[in-house]
Structure 1
């Protein structure tokens, strides 16, 4: 996506002036539309069919053999019987689902006691007592949390637990409906004084397994950004270094998991919004196949690329949360033709001789922090030692795909906000400027983007007959710094946005699943993530390589500094 020039970093007064000019000077927003490269497809001609939803091409290629469809919950439960929760080193240990269940089952503590402590921890994390506040949680209700905890405690006392998440705290991104909470999507105006009367489908599925929904996490306003700098709510901070961002748009979800407030949070992802914050905060994040997890009850932003998915501190919890949330929903047609989810091979980590992993070296080297390349090379060597074969690949049309993702995203973002015209002046300055620029997209731009989607899906269908996975860095940078001048009005930082989203947006555009794994740290102790992509509906292979990656990192895994660690709940 070719630019004429990169817009310089702006915040405070320059940002206010820029936004006013963009909104009121005729033709200026169109100039910046073309400058950003958003119009790069307009004068080109394509003969491909139009693909509006990136659901998989020929179905027979992606069928899952019935013989390997197993009860994923039983697989994880069986493996956890072998787990000794006291065995992990102190600097590595995050509380995991199995730790909660073990503590409840042995009567060492109750869900009620855990939630009493947890509410205090949430309060601390969002108050000046934690200087500066992390602001991972945005909305939470003490009475509602305690009511759920009492019910879970009662079930444990009666040996009638609902499932493998009973009593486990789970947080939900603020664009997904939770009964009793407003779905504000990071704004000051959406759904104000209009709390949801019904859980989103995925929230319902989590509750059915006993999860305690502890509230809503902070996010980048209208999900249009990669930092969770949000003047309309709060700016969420990275527990590993609070002078740096936690990523976005699902930044609050990454923050609460990374700081130990809960083992599972739910995010959503249009161009990397699960994987970017997971990478920046040193946790695991899964962007599933388009349509694998229902979006019923999710605010409709970028519907052809948006997915919801889990963000967790360990791979077992990632697999468990994914398995619970995945599946068909009669109210979401995209989910209806998927094969049954499976966790087949999750613990087959010793030998990887059956895996062929594609790498695009020239693409992978386009990173800003050289430590990322070093970490990537280390993991490639470790995978080779276990028998994996690495194959140099080519992805023809990759640059066109990046442009087509951009035009698809801005068109759908702009359309999603057209029903709220009288409130748009309440958005932060960066989003007001963005929407003014986005308004210059036309139908031709959008349709050509969807023709490129068809072409790229055909290309990738062929490529996945040669390789099982594609490996890249998750981001070209680690968590960027927070400047105090950006907190009041927000900021525009084109370079940081481009670096963060460079490797993630492609999976959204063609609908394939992707996972980010913690892989190391740079010299500032900021986490580094690596990304694996797989063919449509092959989340099981992604979870398997995530498990391998967890073993490779091993005791090098670190928790945030004790000041920003709130996981000592029992």
Structure 2
């Protein structure tokens, strides 16, 4: 079985690599098919029947982009004749790619049909586990809840759920003592001093968890890398962790992730496989997978992860919780220091990377983000103003090497769109950004996964990764191969692609402004089965795109599937430094659609999977 998986992996790399060579062609064909549409500046009415097209690639720019010189530089491993041959048979190639994805999904579905599906256990779960962080902090200050009781409830819960999901890699053995210390301090405080805590230490006595690649004093920053697991404890600390601790929060433990954080699943890691609490046969998402499963399982009240391609939003979606990626360009909303390895040493990658919170309750986001961003406590508490809201939506991206959007994911986008239109008279306008279909060419600017090997080394490297004794992950190998095609090879290419990236960024910011939100998918499929990610590595496009652009994005759960009882979710995008509108949207969606649903429980959100049935809608 091991040799078969490695063989399939190598074949899929070859197919995906050749398909990657036609990405620019796909985009050009799409551009040629798109008719000239209206723009935000020429007075378009905001109706769901009107499409906005942002095709600003003039014909001379198109010919420049696809000139023989530029094409051959983008794809140095093939000659122009082969390039033209693939371009000529693009439709046939698309057909075979579709067959490929059907085959891969069928193989994994068949194999997993023989495996038991398990969910986390909720028997005897303490009621304290279901108190949102901001309410828990208030109750602790008012002496209605002991920090020790809350922390103990989470410690006991962690022991139970970690046997199922395997999301924890290090315990904080001092957590209970720290909670008792909080209670003793409160016992000696006057009412005035307790009230002052709401401003000076707004998370006093509240527990949380931290991803394994974030530096925390006294803990090993292992990154779940085989060669770092026994490293000495860190003597330095990320700024965001210091801010949380100074706000009174208590670390419960450190959570699992893929090797070095370069994967969309935690399936090849020195910390072991991390399981989805809704179905243990399926992946947790990554790379903040440990945070995703523990927060969703009530093993942690909230978690801190990081996101360079979707690593907060993907596990949030796959586990049915909320995950926020703040702004990263032109500046970071929250500090990014303290992440290992230090991607920030290379500037384009630093424009993509950020810390971000994962929460069960969207109502906790204003408080947590105010601490992380060092803002006033009410800075992110703005309610969503439906009278000013301008809603745009995008159903899918046309990228050949990524899996096509599944019907259920498309239906969720339409459900949310219809909900705002029919229940709140907010018209949703469909938009098209042809440059978004070139996400991988734009990503090529980053130099994120520099290739240090050739195709001849793939079999041995794949075996090494499979054995768990490598510094690489399968995804890292594939990213390196793709980047060998997409990275600009000279200053002319660099300038051209950088210009396209800025043009798309400007298009998006100009469209959204202060009151606009873009709705789109977060992942093209339901949460996938374990170990499928090397065969479908490019499904990350919906999240990666907004790391490339640097704008804020949030993953929001929208109930669960009737067919699989797995989480459903969508992604919302705002203009740069406009996190408050996304948090307002997340809180509104939580009230409207129910938010987090316990793994193993059926969502009350949908009636026949068509419309929400909550009383408050």
TM-score tier by shorter-chain length is 0.7 to 0.9
Shift of 1:439: 7.6
- Measured at CA, do residues 435 and 39 of structure 1 come closer, stay the same or move farther in structure 2, by a change above 3 Å? same
1:78 aligns to what? none
2:238 to 197, 200, 216: 200
- Measured at CA, do residues 92 and 207 of structure 1 come closer, stay the same or move farther in structure 2, by a change above 3 Å? closer
Quick one: distance in 1 between partners of 2:376 and 2:448? 29
For the 8 Å contact 2:129–2:301, the answer to whether it is kept is no
For the 8 Å contact 1:476–1:502, the answer to whether it is kept is no
Where 2:350 maps in the other structure, the secondary structure is: coil
2:390 to 353, 356, 369: 356
Give ranges in structure 2 of 5+ residues lacking alignment.
25-64, 72-125, 344-348, 454-460, 602-617
Where 2:260 maps in the other structure, the secondary structure is: helix
Shift of 1:534: 0.5
- Measured at CA, do residues 15 and 408 of structure 1 come closer, stay the same or move farther in structure 2, by a change above 3 Å? farther
Where 1:219 maps in the other structure, the secondary structure is: coil
1:12 aligns with 2:56: no
Where 1:153 maps in the other structure, the secondary structure is: helix
Shift of 1:414: 3.1
1:325 aligns with 2:372: yes
- Measured at CA, do residues 183 and 413 of structure 1 come closer, stay the same or move farther in structure 2, by a change above 3 Å? farther
Quick one: distance in 1 between partners of 2:207 and 2:433? 41
For the 8 Å contact 2:263–2:476, the answer to whether it is kept is no
Pairing 1:180-191 to 2, within 5 Å after superposition? 180-190=218-228
- Measured at CA, do residues 474 and 232 of structure 1 come closer, stay the same or move farther in structure 2, by a change above 3 Å? same
- Measured at CA, do residues 44 and 111 of structure 1 come closer, stay the same or move farther in structure 2, by a change above 3 Å? farther
Quick one: distance in 1 between partners of 2:592 and 2:431? 24
1:215 aligns with 2:246: no
Shift of 1:215: 2.0
Q: Which has the larger radius of gyration?
A: 2
Q: Which has the higher contact order (CA 8 A, sep 6+)?
A: 1
Shift of 1:96: 0.9
1:453 aligns to what? 501
For the 8 Å contact 2:129–2:298, the answer to whether it is kept is no
Decide which moves more: 191-200 or 525-534.
Answer: 191-200
Where 2:558 maps in the other structure, the secondary structure is: strand
- Measured at CA, do residues 364 and 561 of structure 1 come closer, stay the same or move farther in structure 2, by a change above 3 Å? farther
- Measured at CA, do residues 156 and 560 of structure 1 come closer, stay the same or move farther in structure 2, by a change above 3 Å? farther
Quick one: distance in 1 between partners of 2:452 and 2:236? 21
Q: Deviations over 1:313-345 (max 9, x none)?
A: 111212221111014xxxxxxxxxxxx678568
Quick one: distance in 1 between partners of 2:23 and 2:224? 29
Superposition TM-score, scaled by structure 2 size: 0.68
Q: Deviations over 1:218-257 (max 9, x none)?
A: 1122222112213422111111222211211111111111
Pairing 1:297-376 to 2, within 5 Å after superposition? 297-299=338-340, 300-301=342-343, 302-327=349-374, 346=381, 348-349=383-384, 352-361=386-395, 363=397, 368-376=405-413
For the 8 Å contact 1:15–1:429, the answer to whether it is kept is no
Quick one: distance in 2 between partners of 1:98 and 1:493? 39
1:444 aligns to what? 489
Shift of 1:415: 8.1
1:294 aligns to what? 335
1:263 aligns with 2:332: no
1:521 aligns to what? 560
1:167 aligns with 2:208: no
1:120 to 152, 156, 160: 156
Superposition TM-score, scaled by structure 1 size: 0.73
- Measured at CA, do residues 430 and 201 of structure 1 come closer, stay the same or move farther in structure 2, by a change above 3 Å? same
For the 8 Å contact 1:469–1:532, the answer to whether it is kept is yes
2:526 to 478, 500, 520: 478
Where 1:215 maps in the other structure, the secondary structure is: strand
- Measured at CA, do residues 93 and 297 of structure 1 come closer, stay the same or move farther in structure 2, by a change above 3 Å? closer
Where 1:393 maps in the other structure, the secondary structure is: strand
Quick one: distance in 2 between partners of 1:152 and 1:122? 21
Decide which moves more: 365-374 or 164-173.
Answer: 365-374
Q: Deviations over 1:447-478 (max 9, x none)?
A: 35434322222322332349711101221112
Where 2:580 maps in the other structure, the secondary structure is: helix
For the 8 Å contact 2:321–2:596, the answer to whether it is kept is no
Quick one: distance in 2 between partners of 1:286 and 1:273? 10
For the 8 Å contact 2:263–2:473, the answer to whether it is kept is no
- Measured at CA, do residues 507 and 14 of structure 1 come closer, stay the same or move farther in structure 2, by a change above 3 Å? same
Quick one: distance in 1 between partners of 2:551 and 2:279? 32
- Measured at CA, do residues 425 and 344 of structure 1 come closer, stay the same or move farther in structure 2, by a change above 3 Å? closer
- Measured at CA, do residues 415 and 321 of structure 1 come closer, stay the same or move farther in structure 2, by a change above 3 Å? farther
Q: Deviations over 1:490-520 (max 9, x none)?
A: x65333x333x23212111110001111112
Pairing 1:358-397 to 2, within 5 Å after superposition? 358-361=392-395, 363=397, 368-384=405-421, 385-397=423-435
1:150 aligns with 2:187: no
Quick one: distance in 2 between partners of 1:440 and 1:453? 19
For the 8 Å contact 2:167–2:256, the answer to whether it is kept is yes
Quick one: distance in 2 between partners of 1:504 and 1:29? 22
For the 8 Å contact 2:449–2:480, the answer to whether it is kept is no
1:530 aligns to what? 570
2:132 to 91, 96, 103: 96
Quick one: distance in 2 between partners of 1:475 and 1:273? 12
- Measured at CA, do residues 345 and 296 of structure 1 come closer, stay the same or move farther in structure 2, by a change above 3 Å? closer
Q: Deviations over 1:261-315 (max 9, x none)?
A: 2221011111111111101111111110001110111122332311111110111
Shift of 1:180: 1.0
Where 1:214 maps in the other structure, the secondary structure is: strand
Quick one: distance in 2 between partners of 1:120 and 1:98? 21
1:512 aligns with 2:502: no
